[in-house]
Structure 1
Amino acid sequence: MAEVLIVDNDKHSRKEIRKYIEKSKFRFLTIFEANTAQRGLVLLKQSRPSTLILDISLPDMDGLKFGRSALQLYSDLPVIIVSHLKMFELVQEAINSGFSAYLLKPLSKNDLYQALERVLPLGLNQELHQTIKGNSHFSSDLKNPIESAIQFIQMNYGYSLTLKQVADQVYLSPSYFSRLFKEEVGMTFVEYLAFVRVEKAKSLLRISCLPIEVIANNTGFSNPSYFATTFKKLVGKTPSEYRDQFYFQEQGVNP
């Protein structure tokens, strides 16, 4: 999804990154923030972001370790490190870990923009393609059934999905799967599925000119009316209103 997750325990730093993004051409990105690795991991599991911006110094986990954990969840996730630390060994370790960039604090907005420019277009193009075409490659990890279920939902949200179908994919009974899913994700299966579909729809509304009924159909909603109702319930705007706000921003007009 067209999102940025910022994991940094420095509130000022998070605020600065948010300000830079919101005042740039990347303002279409939805921004989520976490001040601990634990909270960041929850957000990662709930919604796969387009980019992770990560400080090395977290209070509950080494940032490099967290970044590697994020790549275990999503192997193609761009990870941008931001840090006060100028040690060559850390930069080298970040590169060897497969991260996309290592930026020094205090953060230069131009450095941030260049990093986003480099890592985002491919990711957004892949996202648009996957949103329309879907993905059929799935392998369940029996040791991590809920993570596998989330992966399956992320790959197949555009199709009709029931709790039983997803539970079957991870070899759990529907009742046990339902309880475990709520415990680990913090949402019911139905709530999470609606959340994923709406977030995917938000991305398409921002980065494409597809008709709303086409977006509804390709994000798993049975009809445009149900899509509009669910979208407004979660976002507070209709799909048309949500799309229009980005159009007006591009034109420099307050709707």
Structure 2
Amino acid sequence: MHRILLVDDEYLEREVLKMILAKKPDLYQVVGEADNGEDALRFVKSHPVDIVIMDIKMPRMTGLDAARLMKEYSKKIGVILVTAYNDFEFAQHAVKYSVDDYLLKPTRPESIFEALASTIKKISLYSEKTTSPWTQAEDVFMGLCMKGDYMGGKKFLQKVREARFESYEKEREVLKKLLSCLLKMAESFRIEVEKSLKTKVDEQLKGSQTKDQYFDILELIFEEIFEVIIRDKRVDYGEEMTYALQYIEKNLTRTLTLESAASYMNISPHYFSKLFKGQVGENFIDYVTDRKVERAKELIEGTDHPLSAIAFELGFNEANYFSKVFKKKTGMTPSNFRKAVEERRSEEQELLRKSQPLGVKWMI
């Protein structure tokens, strides 16, 4: 039984499709309906769906935009787009964003069933040939955490946050594994995680919240655990300077000085400075500044936080000084960097809005 989501802003269009699919109840089950691309996207992220049959022209989000985002979320979801006219430019976009098939209105039931059969074959082949990259996520993350690799663990969490999973179920499975890793890690290092945080995560995982909401809490637990590990040096890194690098990464958003890092290492600032330059290859101030700028770029690109707030978060007391440092390292001011990011995204969106077909009724 293949689960179908119908997406069309016209109620009668969806009803006709349901009548057609009802002719083969042993093969197809309509599990949901939506009248716009945004609601359709939310549905596939919270319900198991095999194939989406979607009109291209809809309010709030076109079918082409929604198809692109669905395929980014899970390539195992089949997408059949419906358009009112045979437009070469539309076909180019459909292929570009891995749409599995498209139908021209008016269309007949046999054409719909042919498109469904073709799409089922495509997604089944993909499932057979593709192994989930998150199969061993728990082992990888646990390995990083148990080694006390704060930087590695943080980057891993960020990759998972940005990832598009092959299904909603796989996303929840990975999130639960990450939570389990963190709690096992806390127990191993004898660190007491606030019960309120654990309870909140459990509640989120039982509901239908977004991945970002889960991660906000998971990252709180991750930071809480590593706050203790790095502060108390509970991991034997082997290389002495690794302690300093982990300490720097954990404290990028705090007041970070050569003296505070040297104090953490229990050596004099002068000796620490020489040791750091010799082992890392650049002096302490330059290294810290580089890391702060890289973090600033991530925040500018990934959030809508005011630039002044980002500067303050990274320990810059004056926005003007932050701007000068940022420009020296990147060649552009923070505002210009954000503008460039916005322009790039705008251009990408504009490419997706060129197809505007007219609606035509189905033929039964």
| TM-score under structure 1 length normalisation | 0.55
Deviation at 1:113, TM superposition (A): 0.7
- Partner deviation per Cα, 1:88-126 (whole Å, 9 max, x = no partner): 211221112211111112232111111111121454587
CA gap of 1:122–1:63, structure 2 versus 1, over 3 A, is closer
Which residue identity lines up with residue 94 of structure 1 in the other structure? A
2:209 to 180, 184, 205: 184
Deviation of the 1:26 alpha carbon? 5.6
Partner of 2:47: 47
CA distance in 2, matches of 1:122, 1:170: 38
What does residue 15 of structure 1 align with? 15
Contact 2:7-2:33 at 8 Å conserved across structures: yes
Cα separation, 2, equivalents of 1:118 and 1:46? 25
1:136 aligns with 2:144: no
Residue 69 of structure 1 and its aligned partner are, at CA, apart by 0.1
Alignment of 1:216-235 (within 5 A): none
Which segments of 5 or more consecutive residues in structure 1 lack a partner in the other structure? 190-255
In the alignment, the residues of structure 2 paired with residue 123 and residue 177 of structure 1 have an alpha-carbon distance, to the nearest angstrom, of: 33
Q: Name 1:167's counterpart in structure 2.
A: 179
Q: Distance in 2 between matches of 1:42 and 1:147?
A: 16
Amino acid at match of 1:15: E
Segment drifting more, 42-51 vs 25-34:
25-34
Aligned to 1:142, the other structure's residue is in SS state: helix
Q: 1:32-69 CA deviation, whole Å, 9 max, x = no partner?
A: 21112222122101123111111111211122111000
**Distance in 2 of aligned mates of 1:17 and 1:127:** 27
1:81 alignment partner in structure 2: 81
Q: Retained in 2: the 8 A contact 1:149–1:169?
A: no
> Which segment is superposed worse, 3-12 or 164-173?
164-173
- Go from structure 1 to structure 2 and tell me whether the alpha carbon gap of 1:26 and 1:169 turns closer, same or farther (over 3 Å shift): farther
Instruction: Specify the structure having the higher radius of gyration (Cα).
Output: 2
Q: Which amino acid aligns with 2:70?
A: A
- RMSD of Structure 2 on Structure 1 (CA): 4.1
Classify 1:73/1:169 alpha carbon distance in 2 versus 1 (closer, same or farther; 3 Å). Answer: farther
Q: Which residue number corresponds to residue 61 of structure 1? A: 61
For structure 2, which runs of at least 5 residues remain unmatched after alignment? Answer: 139-155, 184-192, 215-364
Percent identity (aligned): 20
CA separation of 1:183/1:102 partners in 2, compared to 1, >3 Å: closer, same or farther? closer
Give the aligned residue type for 1:142. Answer: Q
Deviations 1:159-194 (A, max 9, x none): xx9x96453469994333345453626xxx9xxxxx
Tell me the matched-pair count: 179
Describe the shift of the 1:83–1:16 C-alpha distance in structure 2 as closer, same or farther (beyond 3 A).
same
Q: 1:74 to 1:170 in 2, by over 3 A?
A: farther
Take 1:51 and 1:103, find their aligned partners in 2: how far apart are those partners?
14
For the 8 Å contact 1:141–1:148, the answer to whether it is kept is: no
**Aligned residue runs from structure 1 range 97-112, under 5 A:** 97-112=97-112
- Give the residue type in structure 2 aligned to 1:68: R
TM-score (structure 2 length as normaliser): 0.40
Q: Is the 8 A contact 1:7 1:36 kept in 2?
A: yes
